[in-house]
Amino acid sequence: MTATTAGPGPDDTDDTDLSAADAARALRLLRWYPRGWRARYGDEFAELLIAEFAEHGPSRRRALNVAATGLRARLAGAGLAGHPLDPAAAARAGLATLASCVAAAGLAGGVMWAQLAIGLQWSVPGDDQLTQAMDLMSAALLVLAVLAVLAAAPVAWSAVAAAAGGRGRRLRWPAALVGTGALVLVAGGRHFANGWPGTGGHLLVHQGLVPGGVAAFGWAATMWITSYWAHPAALAVFPPVQLAWMVLCPAATGCLVTGTVQVLRRVELSPRAFRCEIWVAHLAWAALACFLGGALCWLFAADGGSAPLFRVGAIDRAGLVVLALAVVAVAAAARRASAAARSSPAGAARR
């Protein structure tokens, strides 16, 4: 009589399939949480979810609750919600998110500002509201530029001090991204500013607004934000060098913003330096609100009927939405960062 080994029965196969399905379902739900949270708590939380699925089965209510909690964890990681376990990390994350929002608002606003500057270089508007809108937007951009320098100073000082003390290894790659992005934007912007559509006009300076060179640089730095991407035939008419710049410019901008965000997340700021950053953040929110007010003045004046050079297009309207969202996000990030810094005994400095 030959002995045989019995294979898995039908019930064992069903249990294995159910366990695999529960594990896959748990992994899908874990994707709602940020990567850092998953690395720290993911395995334990997945086991709890699998046990819940095995005992009670799938539940839409449970899935929605996990998704909502995951989104709150992502907001906390971005500095837009409370982080009771690590207020210092939440404070730094708030600064990083604030910088990202200001950068997005600066790009959206820069496109509108450059377009309006070209119109004012060639034509005197019949409505004084357009000139007032440009004045307000230009003043807000000037304030934002000054605030960017004030915000960068303590961060750069802290980064240099960390490097001198042998603690700057984590900042090397972000600093390289910042330097590369800034170098490409300045060099390329200065070069392509020579092709500014306002060249040959002469009204912008006489209207007491901004120098043509500044407007030309703003146009060159935001040239890639255009509706021509949706019209390949029209885009193909552009010179190859200009097309290359329209691809390289957003890449350089991405390097600059990404590097800045990573530096803010990793640098060790003293409580005094962090208070300075929060002060600058509140002023930046006020400047963005003023810029949004100027853009809305332009929108209302253009809707009332104006020359073609001053009309608001689809990209301008999308920029207004980005500006409005950025103003709200900057206010929330600044408030959360302030609260997190107050609740952390060491401020924003990494212990």
Residue 42 lies in domain:
11-75
- In DSSP notation, 154-187 reads HHHHHHHHHHHTT--GGGHHHHHHHHHHHHHHHH
* Contact assessment for residue 76 and residue 83, using Cβ atoms and an 8 Å cutoff: yes
What values do phi and psi take at 296, rounded to 5?
-65, -35
For residue 82, is it within any domain? no
| pLDDT for the residue numbered 349 | 47
* Contact assessment for residue 176 and residue 258, using Cβ atoms and an 8 Å cutoff: no
Whether residue 37 has pLDDT greater than 90: no
Same domain? For 27 and 96 the reply is: no
Burial category of 226 from C-beta neighbours within 10 Å (exposed 0-12, middle 13-18, buried 19 and up): middle
Same domain? For 196 and 331 the reply is: yes
Stretch 56-72: mean pLDDT, rounded?
80
Estimate to the nearest angstrom the gap between the alpha carbon of 212 and the chain centroid: 28
pLDDT band at 79 (very low <50, low <70, confident <90, very high): low
| pLDDT for the residue numbered 66 | 82
User: Among residues of the chain, what percentage have pLDDT more than 70?
Assistant: 82
For residue 80, is it within any domain? no
Whether residue 298 has pLDDT greater than 50: yes
Same domain? For 128 and 71 the reply is: no
Answer with the one of 29, 48, 75 that is the final residue of a domain. Answer: 75
| pLDDT for the residue numbered 346 | 43
pLDDT (tens digit per residue) in 109-165: 999 999 888 888 887 777 678 888 888 999 999 999 999 999 999 999 998 888 888
What is the three-class DSSP state of 122?
A: helix
Stretch 253-261: mean pLDDT, rounded?
94
* Axis crossing angle, helix 212-221 with helix 240-266, rounded to the nearest 10: 90
Mean pLDDT (the chain) is 81
